[in-house]
C-alpha cells in the first residue's frame, strides 16, 4: 500500500511517496515507545512496592518524596468505586490509538507521542486488571501522588495538543 504526503515540513514541495514499510516502521516506533513506558512504569512500581511499606516514604521529611500508595481511583484518587469505568476508558484509548493513530500522521515524532500515551494508559490498565489498584509513588507534597504512567499520559496529551496540527495546516511540523 502506498500513500502520498507532502515533504518539506509544510512547504509546497513535490509529493513524495511513503511506502508501507515506512508506515510499518512508524507503527513499530509507537509500539516500542509504549513498551518503554510500560517497562519503566512497572519496574519503578515494583521497586517501590518491594522497598517501602504501604504509606512509607523515602527520604523522610523531604519536600519531594517517594511514597508507596495504592490508588483505587482515577487520577488524583477520584472515584475509587468506578474501576470498570477507568478500565473501559483505558481500553477505548488504547484501541483508538492502535487502530486510528495513523490518522494523526506517520512521522516518528507523532507516533512516539501516541506510543507514550498508549503506554501510560496500558500500564495503569494492566495494574487495575491484575491487582485492582495502581501503585503511585511520586509525592511532591502539594500535588496528588502519581507514577510514571501518569506522567506519560499527561505529557503525551500536552505534546499532542500543543504540537499536532491538522493535516492541511501549513505550520504542520510534526
- Stated as kind and residue range, the H or E segment containing 116 is helix 108-131
Does residue 136 carry a catalytic annotation?
Answer: yes
pLDDT in tens, 93-120: 999 999 888 888 888 899 999 999 999 9
- Please report, to the nearest 10 degrees, the dihedral formed by the alpha carbons of residues 151, 157, 160, 166 taken in order: 170
Parse the chain into domains and list their residue ranges. Answer: 28-55+67-163
Specify the residue for cell string 504509606: 55
Residue among 41, 127, 136, 139 flagged as catalytic: 136
Q: What CA–CA distance (Å, rounded) separates 149 from 128?
A: 13
Q: What CA–CA distance (Å, rounded) separates 167 from 54?
A: 48
Residue among 41, 127, 139, 150 flagged as catalytic: 150
Q: What is the pLDDT of residue 25?
A: 85
pLDDT in tens, 122-151: 999 999 999 989 999 999 988 889 999 999
* Cross-sheet strand order for the sheet of 65-71: 57-58, 65-71, 134-139
Does residue 127 carry a catalytic annotation?
Answer: no
Q: How confident is the model at residue 167 (pLDDT cuts 50, 70, 90)?
A: low
Helix/strand/coil for 129: helix
pTM greater than 0.85:
no
Q: What CA–CA distance (Å, rounded) separates 95 from 122?
A: 10
Amino acid at each position: 500500500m502506498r500513500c502520498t504526503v507532502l515533504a518539506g515540513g509544510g512547504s509546497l514541495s513535490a509529493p513524495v511517496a511513503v511506502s508501507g514499510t515506512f508506515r510499518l516502521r512508524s507503527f513499530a516506533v509507537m509500539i516500542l515507545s509504549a513498551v518503554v513506558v510500560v517497562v519503566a512504569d512497572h519496574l519503578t512500581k515494583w521497586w517501590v512496592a518491594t522497598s517501602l511499606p504501604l504509606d512509607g516514604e523515602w527520604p523522610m521529611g523531604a519536600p519531594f518524596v517517594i511514597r508507596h500508595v495504592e490508588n483505587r481511583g482515577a487520577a488524583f484518587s477520584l472515584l475509587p468505586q468506578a474501576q470498570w469505568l477507568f478500565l473501559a476508558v483505558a481500553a477505548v484509548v488504547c484501541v483508538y490509538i492502535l487502530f486510528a493513530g495513523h490518522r494523526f500522521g506517520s512521522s516518528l515524532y507523532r507516533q512516539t507521542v501516541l506510543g507514550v500515551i498508549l503506554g501510560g494508559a496500558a500500564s495503569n490498565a494492566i495494574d487495575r486488571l491484575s491487582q485492582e489498584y495502581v501503585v503511585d509513588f511520586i509525592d511532591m507534597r502539594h500535588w496528588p501522588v502519581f507514577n510514571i504512567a501518569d506522567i506519560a499520559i499527561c505529557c503525551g496529551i500536552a505534546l499532542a495538543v500543543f504540537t499536532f496540527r491538522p493535516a492541511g495546516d501549513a505550520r504542520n511540523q510534526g
